[in-house]
């Protein structure tokens, strides 16, 4: 019993040393280059299904980089790449159809979904609007993300600083030539919910 208590105490000390609560202050020492943490990033998308519900899925293979300038956040830059074959709907057979079919993502021809920021507008209270180029199915269109900076801290399993963000956005799939089942109650607007962490590079 005593050994278990000692182990539990040591584990608590080790975990405490690996974590600090996030700070939302834009301090100069968090400036620099960061790499997206795929284990703590999710891109979830929703689309109206016959007006009855919002069909929901996500991507599991996401990578990217961030240059963060806390003193002039509008000068920050982000570049995100998603593997369309990593789509996850909860139905493996349908995942393959969505990823590979020419009626959907056509991943063999278009192996990346990519977002590169082009402009950042600060909205106050650690929020901003990030405008960028979204490349999907071989076409590039502007996309605006409403982003919240959740803070900078020290995450489990990483020795450097970690920045956290939440974001939402929306676009019309028809703008990218994706109109499959448009006349059968499947919506045009894709709604995005993004949660991500970036680790100091």
Report the 3 state secondary structure along the chain: CHHHHHHHHHHHHHHHHCCEEEECCCCHHHCEEEEECHHHCEEEEEEEECCCEEEEEEECCEEEEEEECCCCHHHCEEEEEECHHHEECCCHHHHHHHHHCCCCCCCCCCCCEEEEEEEEEEEECCEEEEEEEEEECCEEEEEEEEEEEEEEEECCCCCCCEEEEEEEEEEEHHHHCCCCCHHHCECCEEEEEEEEEEEEC
- pTM score above 0.85: yes
Q: How far apart are CA 180 and CA 106, in angstroms?
A: 12
Instruction: Round the CA-based radius of gyration of the chain to a whole number and report it.
Output: 20
**CATH for the 20-200 domain, from 3.40.50.2300, 3.40.190.170, 2.40.128.110, 2.40.110.10:** 2.40.128.110
Show pLDDT as tens, one digit a residue, over the chain (201 residues). Answer: 566 666 555 455 445 556 677 787 788 889 999 999 999 999 999 999 999 999 999 999 999 999 999 999 999 999 999 999 999 999 999 999 999 999 999 999 999 999 999 999 999 889 999 999 999 999 999 999 999 999 999 877 778 899 999 999 999 999 999 999 998 999 999 999 999 999 998
Which tokens hold the place of 160?
Answer: 């450097």
């Amino acid at each position: 019993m005593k050994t278990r208590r000692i182990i539990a105490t040591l584990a608590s000390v080790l975990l405490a040393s690996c974590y600090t609560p996030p700070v939302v202050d834009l301090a100069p020492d968090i400036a620099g280059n960061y790499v997206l943490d795929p284990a703590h990033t999710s891109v979830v998308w929703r689309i109206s299904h016959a007006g009855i519900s919002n069909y929901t899925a996500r991507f599991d293979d996401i990578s990217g980089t961030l240059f963060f300038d806390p003193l002039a956040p509008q000068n920050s830059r982000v570049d995100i790449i998603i593997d369309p074959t990593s789509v996850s709907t909860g139905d493996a057979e349908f995942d393959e159809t969505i990823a590979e079919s020419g009626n959907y993502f056509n991943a063999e021809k278009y192996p990346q979904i990519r977002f590169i920021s082009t402009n950042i507008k600060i909205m106050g209270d650690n929020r901003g609007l990030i405008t960028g180029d979204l490349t999907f199915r071989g076409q590039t269109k502007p996309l605006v993300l409403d982003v919240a900076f959740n803070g900078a801290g020290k995450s489990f399993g990483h020795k450097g600083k970690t920045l956290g963000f939440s974001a939402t956005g929306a676009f019309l799939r028809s703008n990218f030539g994706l109109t499959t089942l448009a006349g059968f109650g499947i919506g045009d607007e894709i709604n995005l919910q993004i949660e991500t962490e970036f680790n100091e590079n």
